[in-house]
Amino acid sequence: MPILTVALLQLERAGHDLDANRAAGEAACRRAKALGADIALFPEMWSNGYTSAVPFGDASANVYRHPDLWAGAAPVGVPDHRAVWRGEPVAADSPFVAHFASLAAELDMAIALTYLEEWEGAPRNSVSLIDRHGRLVLTHAKVHTCAFAVPEAALTPGTSFGTCTLDTAAGDVRVGAMICYDREFPESARALMLAGAELVLTPNACDLERNRIDQFKARAYENMLAVAMANYAGPGWGHSVAFDGMAFGPEGARDMLVVEAGEAAGVFPAVFDLAALRDYRRRETWGDAFRRPRAYGALTEPAVGEPFVRVSHRGRPPLR
C-alpha cells in the first residue's frame, strides 16, 4: 500500500540569521526523517523567518483601498524591498538551498524549503521542492502576494501554479504548491488539480483561525486533493494541518482531517493513503469530470467591479 508521510515543521518564528536558520532547519529535517517522513515541509519564508521591518496587519498601512476610503487618509507608498525585509534574499542556486539539497540526499527524504528568493528587481516569496536524491524539481513563487499591504507589496509575485512528479519511497506522486494567501483563492488549488496534483504543499505564516482552516479543508474537498500546511508556532499561530481530500467513505461523510497541531513547536507527521485517494478520485464526482468551463468566462476577466475596486492613493489599481 503506497503510504506517504509529510512532516509539518511547525517551528518557532526565527530571526533573519541565515546560518542559525540553516542549523535549526536541518535539525527539524533530521527529526522529520526519524519520524518516518517522506517529505519535510517548512513554514513560509524560512530563510529569514518571515521577518520584516514593517509591522504586518495594520489596516492604516494598506497600500490599496476602496477609493472612498482614501478620503482624509495619509498616502501610503511601497518602500524599497531592502528597507522592508530583514535578511538578504537567497538564490535558488545559493549555498543555503544547496545545503538542504545535500541534506535531502543524505536523508533520502524530500524537503520543501522556503526562502526569500533573490530575483530581478524585488525578491520573491518561494518554496523549492527538493527530491530525495537532492534534485530541485519544482519552485513555486507566491502568486497571491499580500499586495494590499506592506511588507508583501514589496515582493515580485509568481505567475503560475505548476506541478512535478516526485519520486518517493511510496512511488511517484504528483505534487504542487501554494503559499499562504494563495490558498484563500479557490483558483489556486483548482489550477493545481487541473495540472494533475494529488498532493498540495502549503507553507504558511499567519494566524490559522477556524475559518482559514475550514477554507483549506474545502480546497481538499472540492478538488479531491491531499493538502498539507506548515505554519509557525506560537500564540495565535500554529495549527499546522493536513486533510486527505476524501470527503466520503463506505459509511458516508467523513472528516478528512489527518492531523492538526496545537500552537507549540514540533514536527507533526501527516500520513496519507495514496491508494485510497487514487481510488476515491476515480469514482467520485468532484474535481474535473463534471465541470462546465464554458460557463466560467468571468473567472479570467481582469476587470474589477464594485464593491471590490481598490486603488493606491494615486488612483492606480493593483496589477492583475
pTM of the predicted model as reported, rounded to 2 decimal places: 0.97
pLDDT at 258 (0 to 100): 98
Mean pLDDT (whole number) for 148-166: 95
Of 215, 219, 226, the C-alpha closest to 280 is 226
Q: Which residues contact 269 (CB under 8 A, 6 or more apart)?
A: 5, 6, 7, 8, 32, 35, 36, 37, 259
Q: Is residue 130 part of a domain?
A: yes
CATH of the domain at 213: 3.60.110.10
pLDDT higher than threshold 80 for residue 57: no
Whole-angstrom Cα Rg for the chain: 20
Residue 167 sits at φ, ψ, to 5 deg, of -80, 115
> Is residue 117 assigned to a domain?
yes
Residue 61 pLDDT > 90: no
Per-residue pLDDT of 188-208, as tens digits, reads: 999 999 999 999 999 999 999
Residue 291, domain member (yes or no): yes
pLDDT digits (tens, 9 = 90+) for 246-274: 999 999 999 999 999 999 999 999 999 99
Joined grid coordinates for residue 70? 482614501
* Domain coverage including residue 130: 3-300
**Whether the predicted pLDDT of 319 surpasses 90:** no
Residue 306 in domain: no
Residue 308 covered by a domain: no
Is the residue at 320 inside a domain?
Answer: no
Residue 318 within a domain: no
For residues 30 and 320, what is the distance between their CA atoms, to the nearest angstrom? 41
Based on the structure, what is the number of domains in the chain? 1
In a domain, 315, yes or no: no
E strands, 83-123, in order: 110-117
